[in-house]
């Protein structure tokens, strides 16, 4: 469902960052008809702990029914990874595994830094129930060396998720180049492993636009309130991606 190749337009993922299920459902209905977005990410952490695990699973069911063929990513982004809420390992595993069992998303996001036991538990459950996974890592403080970025991508890939995602914070322009170079190196080493990578903040915004050239299959754009620093709005993002694709095709 998330497919892109070098030179093609990356998929555009739009996050839903509403604070109540009623607002989320209303927003998802609107996005379901918006041709500018390819995938919807439902940020469940924005509604925790006001909603229970069961309530969040039911919300995912409703969202998936509304979206039909448009893919849904179920994400709980924790405080440690730049999200809105904290959650225990037991609650985190229960939520992700219950979503996998219910089949009420197209993908579940799993935070690599939760630890190997948590990751293996959720990925194992997802495989049993046929749920696709995105193994993600976010560093809001810095960008490591290209070698360390590549090493981490390789280690994440070895846990066998369906997609590997990495987001880092640049402190200077060459940090952005290191993220893009690591993406290209990973793509060359493992061409069959789908990647989503980005450099965050204002410095990193360019990576969200040209990441597809280096091997990233998707980018994020907001329809209102974004979910991470540096996210562009949906309309301008789609326009720029189209321009880049047309320029690449005419070269």
| Nearest Cα to Cα of residue 196 among 176, 181, 211, 178 | 211
- What residues are annotated to the active site? 138, 165
Q: Is residue 208 part of a domain?
A: yes
Q: Is residue 57 part of a domain?
A: yes
- Check residue 1 and give its pLDDT: 53
CA distance 203 to 196: 18
CA distance 99 to 106: 10
What Å distances lie between residue 233 and 117, 208, 222, CA to CA? 37, 12, 5
CA distance 72 to 38: 9
> In this structure, what CATH number is given to the domain that contains residue 92?
3.20.20.70
Q: Is residue 42 part of a domain?
A: yes
Cα–Cα–Cα angle for 21, 24, 30, rounded to 5 degrees: 145
Q: Is residue 244 part of a domain?
A: no
Binding-site residues for 3-dehydroquinate, in ranges, read 41-43, 77, 208, 227, 231
Q: What's the domain range around 230?
A: 11-133+199-239
What Å distances lie between residue 100 and 93, 143, 164, 203, CA to CA? 10, 32, 18, 36
Binding-site residues, in ranges, read 41-43, 77, 208, 227, 231
**CB atoms inside a 10 Å sphere around CB 198:** 26
25 membership: H or E segment, kind and range: helix 21-32
Q: How many domains does the chain have?
A: 1
What stretches in the chain show pLDDT beneath 50? 4-7, 250-251
198 membership: H or E segment, kind and range: strand 195-199
Written as six digits, the tokens of 96 are 């992700």
Half-sphere exposure of 162 (CA within 13 A, CB side): 19
pTM of the entire predicted model: 0.95
Q: Is 8 exposed, middle or buried (0-12, 13-18, 19+ CB in 10 A)?
A: middle
Q: Is residue 141 part of a domain?
A: no
Q: Output the furthest CA–CA distance in the chain (Å, rounded).
A: 52
Contact 135, 118 (CB under 8 A): no
Q: Is residue 181 part of a domain?
A: no
CA distance 218 to 134: 12
- Check residue 227 and give its pLDDT: 65
Mean pLDDT score of the chain: 94
């Amino acid at each position: 469902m998330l497919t892109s190749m070098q030179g093609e337009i990356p998929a555009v993922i739009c996050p839903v960052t509403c604070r109540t299920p009623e607002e989320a459902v209303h927003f998802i209905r609107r996005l379901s008809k918006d041709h500018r977005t390819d995938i919807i990410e439902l940020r469940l952490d924005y509604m925790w702990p006001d909603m229970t695990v069961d309530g969040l699973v039911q919300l995912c069911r409703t969202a998936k029914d509304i979206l039909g063929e448009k893919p849904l990513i179920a994400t709980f982004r924790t405080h440690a990874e730049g999200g809105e809420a904290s959650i225990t390992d037991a609650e985190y595993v229960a939520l992700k595994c219950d979503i996998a069992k219910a089949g009420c998303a197209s993908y579940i996001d799993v935070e690599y830094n939760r630890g190997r036991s948590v990751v293996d538990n959720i990925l194992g459950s997802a495989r049993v129930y046929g749920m696709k996974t995105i193994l993600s890592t976010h560093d809001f403080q810095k960008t490591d060396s290209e070698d360390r970025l590549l090493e981490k991508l390789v280690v994440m890939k070895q846990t066998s998720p369906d997609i590997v995602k990495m987001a880092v914070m640049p402190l200077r322009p060459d940090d952005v180049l290191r993220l893009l170079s690591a993406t290209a190196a990973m793509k060359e080493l493992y061409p069959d492993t789908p990647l989503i990578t980005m450099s965050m903040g204002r410095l990193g915004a360019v990576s969200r636009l040209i990441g597809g050239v280096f091997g990233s299959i998707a980018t994020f754009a907001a329809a209102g309130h974004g979910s991470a620093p540096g996210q562009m709005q949906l309309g301008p993002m789609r326009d720029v991606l189209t321009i880049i694709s047309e320029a690449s095709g005419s070269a």
